[in-house]
Structure 1
Amino acid sequence: MGDRYVVLRDLTRTFTAGPLEARRTGGGPGEPHLEMVDLSKSEARALAAEPGVAALAPSMPIGLPIDVDGDEPPAPTDVTWGVAAVGAAGSGRTGEGSLVAVLDSGIDAGHSAFAGMEFVQKDFTGDGNGDKRGHGTHVAGTVFGRPVEGIRIGVAPGIRKALIGKVIRDAGGGTTDALLEAILWATQQGADVITMSVSFAFTKAVEEDVAEGLPVFLATARALEAYRANLRLFDSLMRMLAERSAVDKGTLVIAASGNSSMREVNPAFEVGAELPSAADGVLAVGALQKVDGLLDVTRFSNTFADVCAPGKDVFSARLGGGLSAKNGTSMAAPHVAGVAALWWEELRDALPPTSVVRASMVTNRLLAAATGSGFVPDADLADIGAGLALCPP
C-alpha cells in the first residue's frame, strides 16, 4: 500500500514529452478534475508523466490555525469593531446577490444570525453536515450574519444564499484532498467568493510519520516534500481556475494567512503566509488589532499578507446561540470575504447589464480601495499588504 495522493488532471489538454522537452497540447481554458489514489513512489512518478496530469501531491493533514487566546473583551453595543473598521456599517451595499462559500467546520444553520438564509451544504469529512467546533459558525457570522441581540456582526448581511463546505471534522482536522474537492465544488456551484480559515498541519504530518517509526529528520523531510508538492498543486489549480475566468466570471479565493508568528516574544519572530493562502491567486489575509486607537498587525499574524482586516476581539455567532469573541487570522479572512461580496454587488450595479463582472475586476477594486491610513507609524507593509480592506461607500 502506498501513500494517498491527490491527482489534478486537466480534461481539456494532453501533455506530450519529447527527448528534450515537455509540450502541452490543446487550447482554451483548463477543466480541472481531482482524483484520490493510493500510489507507491514509482507509480506516482509514472502517473505524473501521463497526458493530462497537471500535478499530483500526497494528501496532507489540515486544521484550524493555532488558537489565539485572550481575555474576553467587552461586548459591542450596536456594531462590531471589525464591521465598522472595514466601512460596512456606512456602505450603501449589503452584498445582496453575491454568493459566498465558507469552507470550514460547517455551520449552525439554526442560529438566529442566519435567520431566513438558504444554505447549500456539502460535507467533505464523512461526519455529516453541521458544526460541532463552532469555528465555521463564527466565520460565517462575520461574512453575512444578521444582527444578534441588536448587534450587527456581518459585513454582508444582504446575502441570502451561501455555500457551506465542511472540510474540518467534528473531532478537528481534515485533509488536503477534502479541501481541494471543496474548492472545486464551490467554483462549480458558481461561488463569487470562497473564504478559507484553515491551514496545512505541517507539524501533524511530521508527528504521524514519527508515530509510525520514522526518525524525526526523515519525517520532517517527507513533510517538506509533501508541502512543496501541494503548493505546486494548489498553484496549478488556481491557474486553471484563473483560465476559466476568461470564459466565465471566475471566483475570488481568500484565505487566512495563519497565526504562527510570535512578535510578542521577539518582533523578528515572524512566519510567512501558510498554505492555502500562500498559493498563487489566493488572497492572503492578515489580522489587525487596535492599539491606542490606531491599527496594528496582531502579534500572531503571519507576514506577507496581501490585505488585512480585524482579527482580534472579533465578536460573531457562537455555536448554540448568542455571540462570542475570537482572535486569529481566521476572523480576519471572513471580513475580507464580506467586503468582496459588497464589491461584487457594486460592480454588478455599476456596469451595463450585458457586462460580466469577473473575479479579477473585484480583486483589483478590493486591493485598490484598501488603505494604509490609521495604522501605527511603524506598520510593516509586508505584514499588512495593500492595507485594511474597505467596502464600497
Structure 2
Amino acid sequence: MSERYMVLRDLTRTVTAGPMEARAAAQQSPGQPHLEVVNLTKREALELAAEPDVAALTEPMPISLPVDVDDDQTGATPEASGNTTWGVTAVGAAASGRTGEGSLVAVLDTGIDPGHPAFAGVELVQKDFTGDGNGDKRGHGTHVAGTVFGRNVDGMRIGVAPGMRKALIGKVLGDDGGGSSDGLLHGILWALQEGADVITMSLGFAFTAAVERNVEEGMPIFLATSRALEAYRGNLRLFDALMRMVAARSSVDKGTIVVAASGNSSKRDLNPAFEVGAELPSAAEGVLAVGALRLRDGRLDVTRFSNTFADLSAPGMDVISARLGGGLSAKNGTSMAAPHVAGAAALWWQEVRATLPPAAARASVVTNKLLTSATRQGFAAGADFTDIGAGLVICPQ
C-alpha cells in the first residue's frame, strides 16, 4: 500500500560529475532545496531515503491556525498610545528612523484582503498553495499582514514597517483555516526563490487533527497516535534539514530570516506550571520562535497562553490591526506577536543595508541585531526568561 510522502532534496548533493567537480559545484551554490510530493510504498520510501541528494523524507501533516485564545474584538481600541497601537510603540517602531523601505517580507497565512486601506500602495504578490484561490476568508492573514506593513487606518498606525512597498503573500491555510505541511513547504521555497528577506508564519502543526484523521481511517487510538508522532518527528527533521540549507545559502547570498509563532497551548491561568514548549514550525532549527506579551499594570508580562522556550517575544495581547472587509479589530495570540518581529526584522534589514557594505548586509547580521538589541527591561517582577527568550524585540533607533 502506498502513502503520500514529501521528499526534500538538496540538489547540491547530487553527484553528476567527478568528486572534485561535485565539491566545487557545492561550494559555489550550497543549499539548493527541491521538494517533491509522491506516493510511495514503505519499501520504496526506504530505498529513496538512501539516495545521496535526499535530505529528508516524511509524510505530510495537517497544519492549522494556532489554538484560539479569544473571539475577535471588533472595533476595540485597547491600550492604544495616541494614534499608534501599543505594539508598534512597545517595539520602538514609532520612534525608529527606519520604516522597512526596501525590505521584502513573505507572510505565509490565510491570504490577504487586498482591498483593505491598510495595504494601499503596496505591491502584493499573491500565490495560493491550498487550492482555494487567493484572498482571505478568515481574516487571520489580513490581521497579521497589517501588523507587519500596514499603512495607517482611520488615523491609527498599525504597521511596524509601513514603508515596505512590496510584500509576498503565500496562502498556505485554506478558507477553512487548515492546510498541509507540503503546501507550507512549497510556500517557503517560493518565498526563498522570490528573494524574501523575512518569512513569517503564524500557524502550527495540528498533531491532534493528525491523530483524529488516522482514527477515522480505522486505526486504533494507540496506533493513530504513534503514526501522528512519527509524522511530527519526520516533519521536524525535514524542517531542520531545510533550515540548514537556508543557512548554507547565506554563505553565498544575503540569506533569509524565518520567524514563527511559538503557539498558544500553554494554560498558566489554570496552573503556572502548565507550559507547553514551542511547537512546529517555530521549534525547527534556525527558526526564530516568538512568544506573546501583554501589558499588566504598565509592565510587560508573558501571556497565559504563550508557549515557552521562545527566542524573542513581542506584543500578543489586544493587538489592533486590519480587519477583514475594512476597519480595525483586536486579536490575541502568538500569531499577533510574530509579525511584530517580522516587521522589526524589515526595519533592521533597512538599517544594515544603509550602514554596512553590501557584502555585510546578511541575514546572520540582522538576526544578531534582533537578538542583541532585544530588552529584558520593563518586565513584571519574576518574569521567566525561558518564556520570553532574549526579550522584547526592539527596532533600530
TM-score scaled by length of structure 2: 0.95
In the alignment, which of 346, 362, 374 is matched to residue 351 of structure 2? 346
What are the Cα deviations for residues 216-242 of structure 1, in whole angstroms up to 9, with x where unaligned? 111111000010011010000000111
1:11 corresponds in structure 2 to: 11
Distance 1:347 1:172 in 2: 36
Identity in percent = 73
Residues of 1 paired with 2:51 and 2:390: CA distance?
Answer: 41
SS, match of residue 191 in structure 1: coil
**Residue correspondence of structure 1 range 144-163 to structure 2 within 5 A:** 144-163=149-168
| Amino acid in the other structure paired with 2:367 | T
How far is 1:355 from its partner? 2.9
Of 369, 382, 387 in structure 2, the residue corresponding to residue 383 of structure 1 is 387
| Partner residue, 1:46 | 47
User: Shift of the alpha carbon at 1:258?
Assistant: 0.3
Q: Write out aligned runs for 1:123-142 (5 A).
A: 123-142=128-147
- Render the CA deviation track for 1:156-185: whole Å, top value 9, x for unaligned: 000010000000011220000000010011
Q: What is the CA distance between 1:2 and its match in structure 2? A: 2.0
CA distance in 2 between counterparts of 1:296 and 1:136 reads 25
3-state DSSP class of the match of 2:125? strand
Equivalenced residue count is 384
Unaligned runs of 5+ in 1: 16-24
After superposing the two structures, state which structure 1 stretch, 26-35 or 47-56, moved more.
26-35
Matched residue type, 2:380: V
1:18 alignment partner in structure 2: none
Cα distance per residue 1:7-42 (max 9 Å; x no partner): 001111148xxxxxxxxx743212110000111211
Residue in 1 that maps onto 2:191: 186
Which residue type is aligned with residue 108 of structure 2? L
Query: Which secondary structure state, in structure 2, belongs to the residue aligned with residue 309 of structure 1?
Result: strand
Q: What is the root-mean-square deviation in Å for CA atoms of aligned residues?
A: 1.4
Gaps of 5+ in 2: 16-21
Please list the CA deviations of residues 121-170 of structure 1 after superposition, one character each: whole Å capped at 9, or x if unmatched: 11000111110010000000000000100000000000010000000011
Contact 2:72 2:329 in 1 (8 A): no
The aligned counterpart of 1:20 is none
State yes or no: 1:64 paired with 2:65: yes
Query: Which SS does the other structure have where 1:340 is aligned?
Result: helix
Distance 1:47 1:203 in 2: 29
In structure 2, the partner of 1:209 is 214
Q: Which residue of 1 aligns with 2:239?
A: 234
1:366 pairs with 2:370: yes
Q: Deviations over 1:269-301 (max 9, x none)?
A: 010000000000100000000111100000000
- Partner residue of 2:18? none
Deviation at 1:69, TM superposition (A): 0.6
| CA displacement at 1:116 relative to structure 2 | 0.7
**Per-residue Cα deviation, 1:329-377 (whole angstroms, up to 9, x for no partner):** 000000000000000000000013x434110100001100000000011
The whole-number CA distance in structure 1 between the counterparts of 2:177 and 2:342 is 23
Report if aligned partners of 2:72, 2:330 keep a CA contact under 8 Å in 1: no
2:362 maps to a residue whose letter is R
What letter is aligned with 1:142?
A: T
SS of the residue 1:121 aligns to: strand
